[in-house]
Chains A and B, each alone.
Chain A
Amino acid sequence: GESVGLHLPTLSVQEGDNSIINCAYSNSASDYFIWYKQESGKGPQFIIDIRSNMDKRQGQRVTVLLNKTVKHLSLQIAATQPGDSAVYFCPENRGSQGNLIFGKGTKLSVKP
């Protein structure tokens, strides 16, 4: 069946270090992938997306890598800052209306 899984429920990094958050997906027909972050008490916030015809996409301080062979996504955050502390999600894109199905997420804690 379809599922969204995250390798690590928590990740703690030192300020200034790079962070890597991993995500596995099971639906090999997926052609669009999104990363969101959710800060405490706030709504999910779009970070970056990637389509299945790409294997890498860069944004400001963030890079998403897609490995379709092993159905794996990763989000790399360069020079992690305290403001990056949040729960990160790679929700499954499901349905013709673009419904997103969220997993538990990975909690990123940045130590000063």
Chain B
Amino acid sequence: EPEVTQTPSHQVTQMGQEVILRCVPISNHLYFYWYRQILGQKVEFLVSFYNNEISEKSEIFDDQFSVERPDGSNFTLKIRSTKLEDSAMYFCASRGNTGELFFGEGSRLTVL
């Protein structure tokens, strides 16, 4: 069964460092998303991406964040200068022509 894959599964970084989280969406999907979940809290929408551009973003997705689809298979989330409060699980998701989003297993980011 096709699935969304994310790497790394866990990344530890120092405050102020840049981090890139990678996702390989399901191959025939056209809509891509990033969500995050701070420990013990709810899953929060960050950004959606379609046709090589951001289609919607939340207030969390500030200038420190960016997304890119550098080739036909990868979808990345970059955090330019990490803060302690960026520590969270980051989930990538993709969607085809049906309504449901398929989520990856997440990348845990720990900022020290």
Contacts and interface: CB of A to CB of B under 8 A. Distances in A.
B87 to A, nearest CB: 15
Interface residues of A, number: 23
A43 B100 CA distance: 14
Interface in B14-42: 31, 33, 35, 42
Looking at chain B's contact residues, is the secondary structure mostly helix, strand, loop, or mixed? Answer: strand
A42 B48 CA distance: 21
A87 B42 CA distance: 10
B104 A43 contact: yes
A43 B105 contact: yes
Contacts of B99: 32, 34, 49, 93, 98
Query: Top 6 A-B pairs ranked by shortest CB distance?
Result: A43-B103, A102-B43, A97-B48, A97-B55, A46-B100, A44-B103
Interface of A: 32, 34, 38, 42-46, 49, 89, 91, 93, 95-105
B56 A99 contact: yes
B56 A97 contact: yes
